[in-house]
Amino acid sequence: MHRVLGDRRAIAILLGPALLVYSLIMLVPMVWSLGYSFTKGNTINGFTGNGVANFSRLLDDPAVRDALWFTLKYAAVVTAGQVIAGYLLALLYVFFLRRASALIRTLVFFPVVLPTVAVGLLFQKFFQVAPQTGPVNSLLNALGFESVDFFGSAGSAFWVLIVMDIWRSMGFYAVLLFAGLVDIPDEVLESARLDGATGLALIRRIVLPLSLPVLMSSLVFSINGTLKVFDSIVALTNGGPGTGTTPLTLYMFQTSFTYSDYGYGSTIALLLTVVCLMVSLVVYRVSRRDLTEG
């Protein structure tokens, strides 16, 4: 039997094409990009060797420091926001809506499938102050406040970005975490209630520890995605005002394609990759430790 399932020719035919395409599009370029980090130039003008100049530039570049700081800040705030908002929604679904929650679940999920560019443009118009006073500023005016130029400063633009990305994805995390909460056996909750645990105590002592695994995997998934943020920022602020909302991904893109410096662009891409791997590793380690102790 194993002769049939171990047929080398068949394995090569089935696996070969996928492995070939994957290697050519992903694996080879990764190594190649590493090589670009030691050069200067671009595809059109050709490349010249540059030693480790790109790396020493990376260490001294204040723009890199800003972009890295922005990336980490954005990832931390959005990850916390997404997972907390999602968890609150999931608690709402499980404990207060129960049967009625299917429709709400589906409805809150829908922004996930919307194109990010469309959502970005929509939020830009929703929060704008000129040429038209958008709904958010109109609401502020109606309540007696002055209009706010949300995109005039990096600080407020950052918060619009946060609001948008939480709006976009909280339904997703709600469904993910909902699946974890539904798995908690009713008997466990019932007996905890008989012990007198209600409300917050019930959630903190029983529900939270039991849903920790799915909470941790949401966290890992979220941080992995938010470190790579690109679309929503390009569509909403394009990194502005100035470079106030520029993450590493966008800085790499601009360095490569606006300033045609592929060598330095590759070096920034490498930094981004290292950051992603390191953060994932740390989160994974921490979550493992929590699980074994809990």
Partner 1 sequence: MATIDTPVQTAAGGPAPARPPRTPRGRRGNRLWVRIVVALLLVVEIYPMIWMFLTSLKSNDDYLNNSTWSLPTTWEWGNYTEAWTTGNIGLYVQNSLLAVVPALALMLLLGTAAGFALQIMVWKGRSLTLLVFLAGMMVPPQMILLPLFTVYFRTGLSGTLWPLVLTYVGTGLPLTVFMMATYYRTVPRELFEAATIDGAGILRAFWTVSLPLVRNALLTVGLVQFFFIWNDLLIALTFTNNQDLRTIQVGLLNFTGDFGATQYGPLFAAICINVFGTLLIYLFLNQKVMKGLTSGAVKG
Query: What distances in angstroms separate CA 69 from CA 73, 83, 175, 181, 238, one per listed residue?
Result: 6, 21, 31, 34, 17
47 by DSSP, 3-state: which?
Answer: strand
CB of 185 to partner 1, least distance (A): 9
Count, in order, helices (H) and strands (E) of the chain.
Answer: 16, 2
CB of 18 to partner 1, least distance (A): 4
Residue 183 near partner 1 by CB under 8 A: no
Residue 144 near partner 1 by CB under 8 A: no
Tokens of 274: 């290292």
Can you tell me which of 64, 67, 108, 223 binds partner 1, judged by CB under 8 A?
108
Residue ranges in 54-83 that form contacts with partner 1 under rule CB under 8 A: none
CB of 7 to partner 1, least distance (A): 6
Can you tell me which of 217, 241, 243, 287 binds partner 1, judged by CB under 8 A?
217
Residue 45 near partner 1 by CB under 8 A: no
Q: What binding mask, one character per residue, do residues 256-275 give for partner 1 by CB under 8 A, x or -?
A: xx----x--xx-xxx-xx--
Cα gap 155→153, rounded to integer Å? 5
Can you tell me which of 48, 60, 62, 96 binds partner 1, judged by CB under 8 A?
96
- Of the candidate spans 56-64, 74-82, 113-121, 147-155, the one that interacts with partner 1 by CB under 8 A turns out to be 113-121
Residue 143 near partner 1 by CB under 8 A: no
Q: Which residue has the tokens 């919307």?
A: 114
Can you tell me which of 52, 63, 65, 106 binds partner 1, judged by CB under 8 A?
106
Tokens of 131: 């040429």
- The burial class, CB within 10 Å (0-12 / 13-18 / 19+), for 288 is exposed
CA–centroid distance for 121 within its chain: 19
